[in-house]
A = this chain, B = another copy of it.
Amino acid sequence: MFRLDKENRERYTKNILNALYENDKEEFRESYLELHPSDQVDIFITLDKEGRERVYMFLEPKEFAVIFSGLYFIHQQVCIEELSDEYSSKMLNNMFTDDTVNFLKRINQEEAKHILDNMEKEKAEKIQVILDYDLETAGSVMTYEYITAFPEETAENVLDKIRREGSDAEIVYYTYVIDRKGYLMGVVTLKKLIIADPNDAVRDIMHKHIVSIPADMGQEDVGKIVQKYDLLAVPVVTEQNHLLGIITVDDVMDIIELQTTKSFGEFSTVKDATETDTSAFTAAKKRAPWIVFLMFAGLITSGVIGQFEETLESVVVLAAFMPMLMDSGGNVGTQSLAVSVRGLALGTIDVKDLWRMIRKEFSTGFLIGFVCMVLISILILIFYGNIMLGVVVGLSILVTLSISAVIGLTFPLILNKLKFDPAIASGPFITTINDIIALMIYFSIATTFMNYL
């Protein structure tokens, strides 16, 4: 059990490193290649330049291809610089198409062209097709390493084919059934193949109702479909149902995970602008519209404050608590937002029960607001010696937090009803709405009590 037993793991790693630095090729190859590729990668990235060059020497390009595929892009760049053209083209020829593409689409076009020129012509052409698909589409993450069969082949034929070609395929559990022109007719699982009578024609045992996706489908939707139908891979087809490639579940998992960080980007209104390799000018061009739009929305708060200029002029110290009040409202609102978004995702929110949820969220906001009210009133009394100021700020925080909680709960539900993704669309708007409400509450209360301040 190499992987999860830390002590064992350390000893094993030490043996491998010893073999490497003592130039014991045999020993190194035996113990290193036995590891899961993911563990090979973990060890490789700890090496210095000398260590890396030994690895290139000890391993065949085909063996190193597996490690290279698992590296982060910044490490891949280092390797490519260190490797001879011959070694790296052999290595790239032996990688799964999707892994090669993954690397090529991140380097500049000239370098990519140089690398493609050094590869097998047929493979290079196939890769170019994938590179030509828009980033973020299904086409750009598909791969060609799958097994196909014709409808008249027998289960036994296909099993033989899997035995022969299986080690070059990214997935052997699905065989895609196509006609002579390459149109997708169905899929047969390895399970069906071994259960079937060896002489059964594939046509009679395949699933005909199959899930397939167009090459221009967004990756996010691909993730949703694979998840919905619990697939291990999904075929990509043309409009005419011509089989183009497949996307496997491990890539889909990576997509779902990247989606997380992307949602994070969208949440902060920076969709498509999180790439780290664009110029400042391009990034600014993409990001500025939102910031400007939200700046204008933010000017509504200036209007609200303007309405209460008289109050503010007589009691300037009120300005000191504006940011704290707005932030607290925003924080409680975001918490309620999270409750709401998570409830929607988990399916635990029943809209029929809305009234009860609103009451509950209001109570929660009220209770938190009450605690804040007591604390802030005491603090203001101590530091400003002004009990009425404490009452005004305290009451404001109580009312603001109660209302912010309800807004945070209901806003995503409304967005969801309107078919927007609540996790993405809620963020920036809720801040502005909360700010406006917090300021109106604050200055209304302050104006009412102005004579006592």
Residue of B nearest to A409 (CB): B276
Closest chain B CB from A15 CB (angstroms): 14
Q: A3-B211, A163-B195, A292-B375 are in contact. Are A38 and B305 (CB under 8 A)?
A: no
Q: Which of A19-27, A46-54, A122-130, A315-323 sits within the interface?
A: A315-323
Residues of B within 8 A of A316 (CB): 309, 312-313, 316
Q: Determine which of B226, B328, B337, B342 lies in contact with A294 in the assembled complex, contact meaning CB atoms within 8 Å.
A: B328
A55 within 8 A of B: no
Instruction: Determine whether A157 belongs to the interface, using a CB cutoff of 8 Å to chain B.
Output: no
Residues of B within 8 A of A326 (CB): 323, 326
A228 touches B38 (CB 8 A): yes
Query: What does DSSP make chain A's interface, helix, strand, loop or mixed?
Result: helix
Q: Which of A233-289 contact B (CB under 8 A)?
A: 241, 249-250, 252-254, 256-265, 267-270, 273-277, 279-281, 283-284, 287-288
Contacts of A228 in B (CB 8 A): 38
Contact of A2 among B209, B267, B288, B306 (CB under 8 A): B209
CB atoms of B72 and A347 under 8 A apart: yes
Residues of chain B within 8 A (CB-CB) of A320 are 301-302, 305-306, 309
Is the pair A302, B280 in contact by a Cβ cutoff of 8 Å? no
Q: By the criterion CB–CB under 8 Å, are A317 and B309 in contact?
A: yes
Question: Could you say which residues of chain B place their CB within 8 Å of the CB of A213?
Answer: 4
Q: Is the CB of A73 within 8 A of B347?
A: yes
Q: Could you tell me if B301 and A312 are in contact, using CB atoms closer than 8 angstroms?
A: no
The answer to whether B331 touches A4, judged by C-beta atoms less than 8 angstroms apart, is no
Q: Contact: A331 with B195, CB < 8 Å?
A: no
Contact residues in B for A418 (Cβ distance below 8 Å): none
A135 to B283: give the CA distance in the assembly, Å. 42
Nearest CB on B from A441, distance (A) = 14
Contact assessment for A331 and B428 in the assembled complex, using a CB-CB cutoff below 8 Å: yes
Q: Is A381 on the interface with B (CB-CB < 8 A)?
A: no
Q: Are A423 and B261 in contact (CB under 8 A)?
A: yes
Residues of B within 8 A of A313 (CB): 316
**Nearest Cβ in chain B — how far from A337, in angstroms?**
7
- Taking the nearest CB of chain B, how far is it from the CB of A450, in angstroms? 14
A326 to B190 CA separation, bound complex (whole angstroms): 59
A212 at the interface (CB under 8 A from B): yes
Is the C-beta of A232 less than 8 angstroms from some C-beta in chain B?
yes
- Within 8 Å by CB of A349, from B159, B276, B288, B376, lies B276
Check if A414 is an interface residue, CB within 8 A of chain B: no
Q: When chains A and B are docked, how far (Å) is the Cα of A439 from the Cα of B267?
A: 25
User: CA–CA, A263 to B345, complex, Å?
Assistant: 13
> Given the complex of chains A and B, what is the CA–CA distance between A330 and B327 in angstroms?
11
* Residue pair B276, A253 in contact (C-beta under 8 Å): no
Which residue of B328, B347, B432 is within 8 Å of A74 (Cβ)? Answer: B347
Q: Which of A346-386 contact B (CB under 8 A)?
A: 346-350, 357, 360-361, 363-364, 367-368, 371-372, 375-376, 379
Query: How far is B159's CA from A163's CA once the two chains are assembled, in angstroms?
Result: 15
Q: Does A80 belong to the interface (CB within 8 Å)?
A: no
Task: Across the interface, name the chain B residue whose C-beta is closest to A426.
Answer: B264
- Chain B residues with Cβ below 8 Å from A13 are none
Q: Of residues 20 to 38 in A, which have CB atoms within 8 Å of B's CB atoms?
A: 34-36, 38
Contact at A256–B257, with CB atoms within 8 Å? Answer: yes
Chain B residues within 8 Å of A226, by CB: 253
From B230, B302, B323, B338, A270 is in contact (CB under 8 Å) with: B338
- Residues on A close to B: CB < 8 A? 1-4, 34-36, 38, 72-75, 106, 159, 162-163, 166, 172-173, 190-191, 194-195, 209-213, 226-230, 232, 241, 249-250, 252-254, 256-265, 267-270, 273-277, 279-281, 283-284, 287-288, 290-292, 294-295, 298-299, 301-302, 305-306, 309, 312-313, 316-317, 319-324, 326-328, 330-332, 334-335, 337-339, 341-343, 345-350, 357, 360-361, 363-364, 367-368, 371-372, 375-376, 379, 397, 401, 423, 428, 431-432, 435, 439
A-B contact pairs, 11 of them (CB 8 A): A3-B209, A36-B209, A36-B211, A36-B229, A264-B342, A268-B338, A273-B339, A283-B339, A287-B364, A295-B375, A301-B324
Given contacts A1-B209, A305-B320, list 14 more A-B pairs with CB under 8 A: A36-B209, A74-B347, A162-B191, A253-B256, A264-B423, A268-B334, A270-B339, A287-B335, A298-B324, A299-B379, A301-B323, A302-B320, A323-B323, A323-B326
